Structure 1
Amino acid sequence: MVILRILPVFALIVACTPQYVPPPTRSAQFDIFPQKLFETFEISCGGPGEQFKNMGNRIFECSELLPPDTTAFLILNYDGYPQDLPKSVMRLTSTKNAQGYRVDADLFFNVPRRTGPAVQVPVESETLDKALGALYQAMGGSPT
């Protein structure tokens, strides 16, 4: 997943300075718009099978194809459509508020179906949440 490729870049930054371990989270508060975070997110979403999209006003998305066994599992269990393969999706959304900007991450599998809307299967992972908290902190945010 894209977050796992971003983390090595910031591991050195985090390792070189004494910091507390941020809580597992998918949200952070930034004083100013975190342009560097979104630029890094876009650059890291350039691998094979990945696609970056600017979904509109401060919404960015990286999707990627999944391994065959995961793809098959999702198609079979969520009535997927084999001609439109499921993908893993990470979406970052920035919202302006009184303190600056809040960034929220959504992680899910998007499973297109032959009829009806696609199913978005949430990805729950404390490991990924900890990685996001560390990334937010390395980029100058305060995990919430």
Structure 2
Amino acid sequence: MRKLFAMIFTALALTTAAAHAAEPHRLAIHVDENDPKVMNMALNNVKNVAAYYKEKGEEVIIEVVAYGPGLNMFVADKSPVKDRISSMSLELDNVSFSACGNTHEAMKKAAGGDVPLISEAKLVPSGVVRLMELQEEGYSYVRP
């Protein structure tokens, strides 16, 4: 009987390990500063994490979320990293960029008109809420 339980336990452990190995890693990167060094560090994190898991043959999904002053990372005529984001988007299909809708609305109001974002950024209702949702979905969280 003990052998049967040991065999069942071993089979369950192997099945669980295989299921976890097949799941992609998930990373949320938070940018809330209008600082090119912070923005570039966030993009360095994206590049390094993507390369690490690619080399291991494992999948990773990365989402960069910007709000507050950090939203300037995605503002078309202000972003100091827009060219880098553009090339990363072409190279990495596992990376997305989320722009806080609350911050965007405040920027438009202050500017008295539209504030165009780079095409790679998708608007989400709230950057903070998006980060919460990602963490609730099992994403690891990094703030450079």
Task: Work out whether the TM-score is over 0.5.
Answer: no
Would you tell me which structure has more strand in proportion to its own residues?
1
TM-score of the superposed pair, with normalisation by structure 1: 0.28
Bigger relative CO (Cα 8 Å, ≥ 6 apart): 1
Higher Cα radius of gyration = 2
